[in-house]
Structure 1
Amino acid sequence: MQEEENSLVEYGFRRVIITITAILCALLEIIDTTIVNVALNEMRGSLGATLTDIAWVITAYAIANVIIIPMTSWLSKQFGRRNYFAASIIIFTVASFLCGNATNIWELVAFRFIQGMGGGALLVTAQTIITESYPLKKRGMAQAIYGMGVIVGPTLGPPLGGYLVDHFSWPYIFYINIPIGIMATFLTILYVRSPKYGEKLKANQVDWWGIALLATFIGSLQFVLEHGQQDDWFDDSLIVSLSIASVFGLILFIWRELVYEHPVVNLRVLRDSNLAMGTVMTFILGFGLFGSTFIIPIYTQSILGWTATDAGLLLIPSSITTGLMMPIIGKLLERGVQQKFLAAAGFTIFFVYSYWMYNLMTPDTGSELMFWPLVVRGVGLGLLFVPITTLSLSTLQGKDIGEGAAFTGMMRQLGGSFGIAIITTFISRLNQQHRVDLIPNISSINFQVQERIEGLKQMFISKGYSANEALSRAYEILNGSIMKQSTVLSYMDVFLYLGILFLICVPFVLLIKKGAGKVDTSSVH
């Protein structure tokens, strides 16, 4: 097994080409998760869809992604890794073309689902290919290179999407994938090699029940997370039914995978304590990464009145910082710095970033005030991503690497979905609470309040409104500023809670047993 694993290690030009191919594919998949967000309004207009319908463009992609990710290792064995990887790129690229040509909302949703089925495989298989192409002692650097794609991707999506929508039209956010997909397909066929997996399963040995239960559990959970808040959670019968389906799906899936001879997802790989700990930390990382990326564009667009492109550009310094951090962290890992110390530093720095944002948020914060906190966020993400990923995969060998990468990939996506669902619910509930708390301050006997109302009333009268109309307009403006203030207060609370969550992780990370994160090189010859 060890020799077979070493036979996949590449050197020189081949390794460079394989690394570029894998990162291109990971970027394709991740940019497509966020690029759509800024084009939703345009799509709604041209396809005549409602707000609820258009949300399915994101939901369908996410559901397909999280269903396929845990199955990637198994599918690689069935079809051979290179074939499966190339087929996934082709499916993704063709589906991108079909998305751009969709004539109604449900066509677009169906093609987005197919695109998600191709895309989910790209992320995990790219990680496995990069990990196996580097010798054991350079695995930290391999994860750093992969991490640059994964962290930079979500941030590139909104400004790129904003630019394409502003200067062209929304189908171009899908067409941009086509040339990259064609190039990546050729490079994969020419350069990527498949490990020898042994016999393929016959059709009657395939774990069809496992696949069905996995799809039920993950698909239902993802739907509940995406639609829970807008459908008022458990007051909605569909959300209740799918929550029950998800819980039973999970229980039956775990039972099935542990008793079946050829499971579609090998749960036994989680016996590796590093991987088990790593999947939990990856979940929290996904929560923080996607959660904070989700709040900032909403805050800048809805409160500060920025354009989609400006909101996306704000996150670029953070991504550049993370990209610059990656090779430094890779080098530190190569020199023997333990992953747990770097990860603990990352969680602490993320707390500093969250607390800083909590302190500077106002209804009119300038972009220059957010620059340094976002740079700090970039440093924190770099310190978290590489050490957690290398820690998770550090003691795995052979085919277990692919299975481990699938678990961490799935947990990062689910962490993001949980993060966004919980944050939107929190914002909605906290908003109501802050509004209730703020209204008593608008007292009719408060001189400042009366002065403000009178000033607004006189302004409207001077524009030709009657006294009654001017007064009601003045109250509307006051009500609007209360709404704005309560929304900002709820965003501040979310940042504070995110920061506390990251701070709580620090002692747990430091408890990882000494040597757990070290790569075992004793068996390498």
Structure 2
Amino acid sequence: MPAQPAMPTGFRKWIVVVTAISAAIIELIDTSIVNVGLTDIAGNLGVTIEDVSWVVTAYAIANVIVIPMTGFLQRYFGRKNYYIGSIILFTIASYGCGFADSLWTLVAFRFLQGVGGGALLSTSQGLMFDAFPPSQRPVASALFGMGIVLGPTLGPTLGGYIIDNYHWSWMFYINVPIGIAAAFLSSAYIDKKPDEININRKAIHIDQLGILLLAVGIGSLQYVLERGEADDWFDDNVIKWLTVITAISLPLFVWWELRGTKEPVVDLRALKNRNLTVGSLLMVIVGYGLFTSVLLYPLFAQRIVGLTATQTGQLLIPGGLVTLPMFALVGRLLAKGMSPRVAVIIGYVAFATFCFVMSTYNMDTPNKLFIYALIVRGIGLAFVNVPLINQSVSTLEPRQLPTGIAIVNMMRQVGGAFGVAITNTYVTQRTAVHRGDLVSNLQPGDMLTTERLNAMTQALAAKGINAFDAVTGAYKNMDLIISRQALMLSYLDTFKLAGLFFVVSFPLLFLLKNKKMDAAAAKAVADAAH
């Protein structure tokens, strides 16, 4: 085996740690930061909300395509070169997003941003592992886990502050100085591994068909999940055709990677390992819960409770402050021998509790109760992320670890896409059901309904509105009240559904082999993890 580069120490070590975490955080922030600014972007560019949602879709499609190919791309270009190149691409694309003056220019740069960002997550994880000795790698996982959770959490907070105080383009410009600093520090302080110094690219087989099938299949699936609800699912011809393409290309990709080539771009044989398969399924649920909560909470806080974007973000801060030390605590507990399965169980229970508690809130819920619920969510994510990632790859052979880590990261993103698709569809359906139920209770001649309408009519008349317009306004106000109530009930149902996903998948935890990450296994992960 070739000698490994010297492990960074002292100041150099913490420069690598800060660089890796920062790169991972800005990548994940950009998965959610634009969500709170879509209305402003649409208005500024003169397009509809449906059209501007491509800003989110393009990034997600590029991201989920690149992540599983990260292992191959690092072998081909070398980890350091690929990492720095991805940071540069992400930074340039971020600047392009900021100055874009048309929708499709913005969408094109968002796609490029997603291509660059796809490498940052997995590669940063490998750099973190390389900066710590084997005995401290659970702590490295904990530090990296903070970035995984803080990114999607900080996104809406930061986005809300920018939208309320600055132009939407600053949601992208803020990446530029961070990206420049990360590229410079990576070039100066990250060492190449021996096998990166003289790469013989001619000897590396490029699985062209595998890459094509993966890009087409995963890209089509992501499009269907992201755009399905907005485009009325199978009433839209594009959704129909892309569903067919997904159903054909993904099975072909699996067959080709297992049978058709000796050097696959993604070694799916690793999925024969029970821990990786079960861990990947559980990671889908975690991704679903993480992205669903990031989507639902701001909508509930702003559309139902009436908070501003800034206030909505501020309520996330206490949970984030509690989550940071929790990740460090989990890392220390794992390093001292805590059963990873026990940690994941604690995280699962905490996250399910968050979902069920949120399903009991209403438009009069005080802010402090949101803070308590978000703290419980943060604890859950701290306990579930690090141990589950470690357990998913803990029983793999060293040569399979790059593929294992890429699959786990991809499944979290796919779980998030499923979460967004399910949430949007379920909210729409349940809103219609609840509205019908509420309207059915408003019978002509009903005393309470009549009293409420009369009170609203009189209130409008007292403001100087003529009698006819006051009656019309009262009925419109009643309609708005019903719509808001129906929407609130649909959000509560969706939180409850998310909790049920955690409950139903809970037995899968007991299929994981409860193998602790010993020093040798942790070192193997570090050597192979992107």
| TM-score bracket, shorter-length normalisation | over 0.9
* Residue in structure 2 matched with residue 243 of structure 1 by the alignment: 243
Q: How does 1:193-208 map to 2 (within 5 A)?
A: 193-197=191-195, 200-202=200-202, 205-208=205-208
> Which deviates more from structure 2 when the two are superposed, residues 413-422 or residues 444-453?
444-453
* Residue in structure 1 matched with residue 65 of structure 2 by the alignment: 67
- Preserved contact between residue 84 and residue 183 of structure 2 (Cα < 8 Å): yes
1:297 matched to 2:295: no
* Residue in structure 2 matched with residue 306 of structure 1 by the alignment: 307
* Residue in structure 1 matched with residue 518 of structure 2 by the alignment: 519
* Residue in structure 2 matched with residue 165 of structure 1 by the alignment: 163
- Preserved contact between residue 337 and residue 516 of structure 2 (Cα < 8 Å): no
SS of 1:202's equivalent?
helix
Q: How does 1:317-396 map to 2 (within 5 A)?
A: 317-359=318-360, 361-396=361-396
* Residue in structure 2 matched with residue 400 of structure 1 by the alignment: 400
- CA separation in 1, counterparts of 2:64 and 2:447? 56
SS of 1:257's equivalent?
helix
Q: What are the superposed Cα offsets for residues 324-373 of structure 1, whole Å, 9 maximum, x if unpaired?
A: 200100011011111111101111111211111112x2123221221111
How far the C-alpha of 1:452 sits from its partner, in A, is 0.8
How far the C-alpha of 1:432 sits from its partner, in A, is 0.6
1:213 matched to 2:243: no
TM-score with structure 2 setting the length: 0.93
Q: 1:41 to 1:129 in 2, by over 3 A?
A: same
The one-letter amino acid of 1:322's match is T
- CA separation in 1, counterparts of 2:6 and 2:392? 20
How far the C-alpha of 1:168 sits from its partner, in A, is 2.7
- Preserved contact between residue 162 and residue 170 of structure 2 (Cα < 8 Å): yes
Q: In structure 2, which of residues 81, 84, 100 is the aligned counterpart of residue 83 of structure 1?
A: 81
> Which deviates more from structure 2 when the two are superposed, residues 148-157 or residues 200-209?
200-209
* Residue in structure 2 matched with residue 31 of structure 1 by the alignment: 29
- CA separation in 2, counterparts of 1:452 and 1:523? 66
* Residue in structure 2 matched with residue 265 of structure 1 by the alignment: 266
The one-letter amino acid of 2:456's match is L
Q: Which stretches in structure 1 are left out of the alignment for 5+ residues? A: none
- Preserved contact between residue 8 and residue 132 of structure 1 (Cα < 8 Å): no
Q: How does 1:147-166 map to 2 (within 5 A)?
A: 147-166=145-164
* Residue in structure 2 matched with residue 115 of structure 1 by the alignment: 113
How far the C-alpha of 1:121 sits from its partner, in A, is 0.5
Root-mean-square deviation (Å)? 2.1
How far the C-alpha of 1:27 sits from its partner, in A, is 1.0
How far the C-alpha of 1:444 sits from its partner, in A, is 2.4
How far the C-alpha of 1:122 sits from its partner, in A, is 0.5
- Preserved contact between residue 8 and residue 133 of structure 1 (Cα < 8 Å): no
Q: 1:278 to 1:131 in 2, by over 3 A?
A: farther
How far the C-alpha of 1:191 sits from its partner, in A, is 2.1
> Which deviates more from structure 2 when the two are superposed, residues 8-17 or residues 269-278?
8-17
Q: 1:520 to 1:276 in 2, by over 3 A?
A: farther
How far the C-alpha of 1:277 sits from its partner, in A, is 1.9
Q: 1:522 to 1:340 in 2, by over 3 A?
A: closer
- Preserved contact between residue 322 and residue 379 of structure 1 (Cα < 8 Å): yes
* Residue in structure 2 matched with residue 100 of structure 1 by the alignment: 98
Q: How does 1:466-485 map to 2 (within 5 A)?
A: 466-485=466-485
Identity across the alignment (%): 43
Q: Which stretches in structure 2 are left out of the alignment for 5+ residues? A: 525-530
How far the C-alpha of 1:504 sits from its partner, in A, is 2.5
TM-score with structure 1 setting the length: 0.94
* Residue in structure 1 matched with residue 528 of structure 2 by the alignment: none
- Preserved contact between residue 83 and residue 120 of structure 2 (Cα < 8 Å): yes
* Residue in structure 2 matched with residue 509 of structure 1 by the alignment: 509
The one-letter amino acid of 1:516's match is K
- CA separation in 2, counterparts of 1:192 and 1:395? 28
- CA separation in 2, counterparts of 1:498 and 1:524? 36
Q: 1:372 to 1:523 in 2, by over 3 A?
A: closer
Q: 1:65 to 1:440 in 2, by over 3 A?
A: same
The one-letter amino acid of 1:283's match is V
Q: What are the superposed Cα offsets for residues 101-151 of structure 1, whole Å, 9 maximum, x if unpaired?
A: 212111111111111100110111111221233333322111100011111
